[in-house]
Amino acid sequence: MRQTPAGIDVIAFRVLHESQAMEAGGQREVRAEVDAVAFEGQARLLAGCGLDTALAVEGFLCARSRRSKRLVLHVTKLEFSEGD
Amino acid sequence: MRQTPAGIDVIAFRVLHESQAMEAGGQREVRAEVDAVAFEGQARLLAGCGLDTALAVEGFLCARSRRSKRLVLHVTKLEFSEGD
């Protein structure tokens, strides 16, 4: 975790998602690694997590910067999954 | 538009999204360019569209391939926006 210039806690992390989805009449494996960022209370919660912590996240995708179109998930909702 | 080896219509396209979102107590610009893919009837609808057609899409994100982690939006729902 670090602080923005305005002193807001922020953390950058990566989410690995694996599931199945239906597509064109067949089932397919879905795998996505998504760079993510969270702020304030969510950043502090994530800073206390180990790697491989099971999470459910919601948010919005945004290009990393004006120069980089790489997508970053900005977390707006964070839940820690149980039983994983 | 092209066909998969199984003869299913498929189209690859790109979605440009621009909006605003609240984050860490402030409003920020959201801009994301997302590679996307659609199948069957949705592919055929998109094949008839011009560039800069206004769309609302839903779907799931998936890595492009086993080798590339680049995210691709697989469209599951497609609506053409009016008045744009």
For residue range B51-73, list pLDDT tens digits in order. Answer: 999 999 999 999 999 999 999 99
Segments of chain B scoring below 50 in pLDDT: none
CA distance A74 to A64: 10
pLDDT at B77: 95
Structural domain including B68 reads: 2-80
Q: How many angstroms away from the CA of A54 is the closest CA of chain B?
A: 18
pLDDT at A82: 72
CB contact under 8 A, B24 and A32: no
CA distance B14 to B37: 8
pLDDT at A83: 57
Q: Where are the alpha helices (DSSP H) in chain B?
A: 40-47
B chain contacts of residue A33, beta-carbon cutoff 8 Å:
63, 69
CB contact under 8 A, B23 and A74: yes
How many domains would you assign to chain A?
1
pLDDT at A18: 97
Query: Contact B30/A62 with Cβ under 8 angstroms?
Result: yes
Q: Is B43 helix (H, G, I), strand (E, B) or coil?
A: helix
Mean pLDDT, contiguous 10-residue spans, chain A (84 residues): 94 97 93 97 94 95 95 96 65
CATH number of domain containing B54: 2.40.50.140
User: Quick one: tokens of B47?
Assistant: 């094949």
CB contact under 8 A, B39 and A23: yes
CA distance A61 to B37: 17
pLDDT at A33: 97
| DSSP string covering A34-54 | EEEEEEHHHHHHHHTPPTT--
B chain contacts of residue A4, beta-carbon cutoff 8 Å:
24
Phi, psi of B23 (to 5 degrees): -155, 130
pLDDT at B81: 82
